[in-house]
Structure 1
Amino acid sequence: MNYRHSFHAGNSADVVKHSLLIALVRALQQKPGALTLIDTHAGCGLYDLGGADAGRTGEALQGVLRAFADANPVLDDYRAAVQAVNVGAEPHFYPGSPRILAQLLRPQDFLILNEKHPEDAYTLRGVMRGTSAAVHERDAYELWLALLPPRTARGVVLVDPPFEQTDERDRITATLAAAHRKWAHGVTVIWYPLKDRATHWQWREQVRKLGIPKLLRVEHWLYDSDQPGIYNGAGLYIVNPPYAFTQALPPLLEALRAALAPEGHQGEIITDWLGG
């Protein structure tokens, strides 16, 4: 599956991913200790929803624009993060994870971004100018391991690949196993697309067999049954989510399901622990 982000910015997967990411970081920030936030596949950092790429798919109509049309206050933090890069009531630009994480930084926190594609890395540096973020241009999986453990005791690694390579899931699984050995108490968030349940079930079992003790699976399925050959939703594996985050998760997930359900479908949220 090709998931070059400029074509899909602001879609339903972004709404879910960024809503949960904001809640996760804020839960960790309930303690005053510094955090290191690492984004391994940072992309361009900011996307024009009226541009040629996003306009070709129109996926923001079923994602961020639905979230903005929804009145549920549980989604206020997400809407505020998007509004921060816009002027006016309706979003014309969409912040990628780098810009959202930069908004969340406290003075004691650190933000490290990585983007392998040279053109996107160049754009990212421009988008992040004026922030404290460090930007790297390396292989994401090598950087993931090289930066662990980070300089601070606590932190988050966000892994959000484009899934352009056939071995993407295998590289994620192998790197996650090695990363957990280096930084067992660290928080890791891995995003993935959902196309059909059978294929994903195989990968889920591979991840389960890693035996990581505290590994939460959250999946957002858009449709009430698999829609063959199309995008069906997205999921997150979250290693070591803090208690404050998991306690606040049910109402957030229900708000996301209700806001993003396509016409004629209820949608489905699945959460469970894959721990060893």
Structure 2
Amino acid sequence: MNYRHSFHAGNSADVVKHSLLMALVRALQHKPGALTLIDTHAGCGLYDLGGEQAQRTGEAAQGVLRAFADTDPLLDEYRAAVRAVNAGGGPQLYPGSPQILAQLLRPQDCLILNEKHPEDVQALRGAMRDTPAAVHQRDAYELWLAMVPPRTPRGVVVVDPPYEQTDERNRITATLAAAQRKWAHGVTVIWYPLKDRATHGRWKEQLRKLGLPKLLDVEHWLYDSDQPGIYNGAGLFIVNPPYAFTQALPPLLEALRAALAPEGHRGSLTAEWLG
């Protein structure tokens, strides 16, 4: 599966991912101690929803535009983050995870971004020029292991690969296991696409076998039954989510499900502990 960010910017997966990422970081910021935020597959940082790649798929219509048409106040902070990169009116530009994370930084926090693709890392450096982010161009899994544990007492690693390689899930599983041995209390967020339940079920079992004591799986299935051969949704594995985040999660998930449900479908957006 090819999931280059630029083709799918602002889709339903981005709405869920960025809403939950904001809620997670805000929950960690209830404590004053510094945070290091690390994005291993950062992409371009900022996307033109009117550009050729985004227009080719048109997925923002079922994502950020639905979120903007919704009135639930639980999505207000997400909508504010998108408005922050737009001059006014509807969303013309969409902030990727690097821009979302940069908006959340407090003076004591730091942001480390990584993107291996040559064109995307150049765009990323431009998009993040006015932020304190450090930008790297390295293998994502090598950087992940090299950066943990961070210098600050706490941190978050965001892993959001394009799933272009057939061994992507195996590399994530192996790197997560190694990272947890180095940084057992670290918070890790792993984004994934959903195409069929069997593939996802097998990966969940692999991760369950790692024996991580706090592993949360958030699954967003767009349709009421699987649609063969197409994108069916996306989700997040979250290692060591803070209590304040998990307590506030159910109403946020319901707000997102309701805003993003395709016509004729209720869909589901659920959280399940795997460890």
Name the TM-score, length of structure 2 as normaliser: 0.99
1:170-181 maps to which residues of 2 (within 5 A)? Answer: 170-181=170-181
Q: CA deviation at 1:125?
A: 0.5
Distance 2:33 2:231 in 1: 39
Instruction: Report % sequence identity.
Output: 84
Distance 1:211 1:89 in 2: 47
Aligned to 1:196: 196
Aligned to 1:141: 141
Classify the secondary structure of the residue corresponding to 1:156: strand
Letter of the structure 2 residue corresponding to residue 123 of structure 1:
A
1:64-83 maps to which residues of 2 (within 5 A)? Answer: 64-83=64-83
C-alpha contact 2:9 2:47 (8 A) present in aligned 1: yes
Letter of the structure 1 residue corresponding to residue 98 of structure 2:
P
1:104-253 maps to which residues of 2 (within 5 A)? Answer: 104-253=104-253
Distance 1:76 1:14 in 2: 15
Aligned to 1:46: 46
Q: CA deviation at 1:130?
A: 1.5
Distance 2:54 2:173 in 1: 30
Provide, for residues 221-247 of structure 1, a one-character-per-residue CA deviation record: whole Å limited to 9, x for no partner. Answer: 000010000000001000000000001
Aligned to 1:87: 87
Aligned to 1:28: 28
Classify the secondary structure of the residue corresponding to 2:87: coil
Classify the secondary structure of the residue corresponding to 1:68: helix
Distance 1:201 1:45 in 2: 31
Classify the secondary structure of the residue corresponding to 1:2: coil
Distance 1:152 1:86 in 2: 32
Letter of the structure 2 residue corresponding to residue 14 of structure 1:
D
C-alpha contact 2:253 2:270 (8 A) present in aligned 1: no
Provide, for residues 91-144 of structure 1, a one-character-per-residue CA deviation record: whole Å limited to 9, x for no partner. Answer: 000000000100000000000000001111111011100110000000000000
Letter of the structure 2 residue corresponding to residue 215 of structure 1:
L
Classify the secondary structure of the residue corresponding to 1:25: helix
Provide, for residues 166-196 of structure 1, a one-character-per-residue CA deviation record: whole Å limited to 9, x for no partner. Answer: 0000000000000000000000000000001
Provide, for residues 194-214 of structure 1, a one-character-per-residue CA deviation record: whole Å limited to 9, x for no partner. Answer: 001011101110010000000
Classify the secondary structure of the residue corresponding to 1:130: coil
Classify the secondary structure of the residue corresponding to 2:132: coil
Q: CA deviation at 1:89?
A: 2.4
Distance 1:150 1:92 in 2: 35
1:16 correspondence with 2:46: no
Distance 1:270 1:24 in 2: 16
Letter of the structure 2 residue corresponding to residue 209 of structure 1:
K
Distance 2:89 2:29 in 1: 29
| Structure 2 runs not aligned, ≥5 long | none
Classify the secondary structure of the residue corresponding to 1:192: strand
Q: CA deviation at 1:270?
A: 2.3
Distance 1:223 1:119 in 2: 34
| Structure 1 runs not aligned, ≥5 long | none
Distance 1:137 1:228 in 2: 36
Name the TM-score, length of structure 1 as normaliser: 0.99
Classify the secondary structure of the residue corresponding to 1:21: helix
- Runs of 4+ displaced beyond 6 Å: none
Distance 1:272 1:259 in 2: 21
Distance 2:109 2:88 in 1: 30
